Amino acid sequence: MAEETKESVGVEYWLKWQVGVCALIILIPSTVAAAIAAKRIRNKRGGGGDELRRSDLWVPCWSNLNPVWVCVYRVFAMVIMGWILYQMVIFAGFWSFYFYTIWTFTLLAVYFAIGALISAQECMMYVKGPVNVGEKEKLLKNKEVINGLQNHGYHDEASDKAGYLGNIMHIMYLTCAGAVLMTDIVFWCVLVPMLAGTFELNLLMISIHSLNAVFLLGDSALNRLPFGWFGLIYFFLWGAIYVSTQWILHARGLTWWPYPFLDLANPWAPLWYLGLTLFHIPCYGIYVLIVKGQASVCSRLFPNAFVRSDARILQKKAA
């Protein structure tokens, strides 16, 4: 047993041939994703890309819906998810953060926290302060004002930039879209059938692997954040950060892997790593289809009530 532990953390373990192959499987797509992300940032700074607007962060995609309800929904999701995380720490301790599922669940909770903060700030600001569209007391009551906010941005372009925190929130949203589906699909379709009879599902585990998707889908049905395949790069980087963290922890002496398929001692590890890397694409693709499907169906069924998140981009192309 001592020799096995020594091998699992010693130099011999990291000199196995599959370690180098797995490293390349993680490094190559991560490098490409980081390069694309850096290029997008440069394009936005140079004015060559479609810059995220502040109004995209808090104005709903439904013209008849008061923006306050988006804020209320995000606060509700944040509180429930925070309580579930608290219960998870009590149940399993801080070792629960050893799992990718809890990483993603926490990221989504932080997304809702930032979203609730921005929504609350903007709603309060334009109730109390002057605006360039309509009277301030009518902002959250007047249907025409809300339509103007959604279609044209709520005030001048100079002050309608999302800012650093807004862009971080958007990246979290894009990352969670793929990560939430991956954790839930792997759990319900792979781990539960594989480990049937060896453990019992409790309400906490069911909540963690279901409410994350429910809350995220609900937010997607309300918000007008731009969404597309470009978010896949952040999803790749999120997975690479998690795997790299696991490698660092094991290099420092930890011997237990939270997921058996991450164990580099397995000669089949390269196939597992390659499969997981490729699995990012369909997971993210499913969410792309959901968001695009919603936009396509709702814009046809409710043309006067639904505002597409890419309406501004489409207007630019048409012009």
- pLDDT, tens digit (0-9, with 9 covering 90-100), for 255-275: 889 888 899 998 999 999 999
Burial class (CB in 10 A: 0-12, 13-18, 19+), 179: buried
Residues 149, 59 contacting (CB under 8 angstroms): yes
Q: How many residues does the chain have?
A: 319
Residues 266, 272 contacting (CB under 8 angstroms): yes
Q: Above 90 in pLDDT, residue 239? A: yes
CA–CA distance, 28 with 43 (Å, rounded to integer) = 23
For 259, the token pair is 């997921």
Q: Above 60 in pLDDT, residue 2? A: no
- Among 77, 309, 94, 40, CA closest to 212: 77
Res 42: pLDDT: 83
- Segment 148-159 mean pLDDT: 48
CA–CA distance, 58 with 75 (Å, rounded to integer) = 13
- pLDDT, tens digit (0-9, with 9 covering 90-100), for 67-123: 999 999 999 999 999 999 999 999 989 889 999 999 999 999 999 999 999 999 998
Q: What pTM was estimated for this model as a whole?
A: 0.87
Is residue 307 very low, low, confident or very high in pLDDT (cuts 50, 70, 90)? confident
CA–CA distance, 228 with 195 (Å, rounded to integer) = 35
Q: Above 70 in pLDDT, residue 316? A: no
Res 137: pLDDT: 41
For 203, the token pair is 């309400």
Q: Above 90 in pLDDT, residue 182? A: yes
Res 197: pLDDT: 73
Residues 228, 178 contacting (CB under 8 angstroms): no
- φ and ψ at 306, to 5 degrees? -100, 135
Q: What is the dihedral of CA 183, 237, 246, 195, to 10 degrees?
A: 20
Q: Above 90 in pLDDT, residue 161? A: no
CA–CA distance, 44 with 124 (Å, rounded to integer) = 29
- Among 213, 209, 114, CA closest to 170: 114
- Neighbouring CB atoms inside 10 A of 12's CB total 10
Burial class (CB in 10 A: 0-12, 13-18, 19+), 4: exposed
Res 58: pLDDT: 93
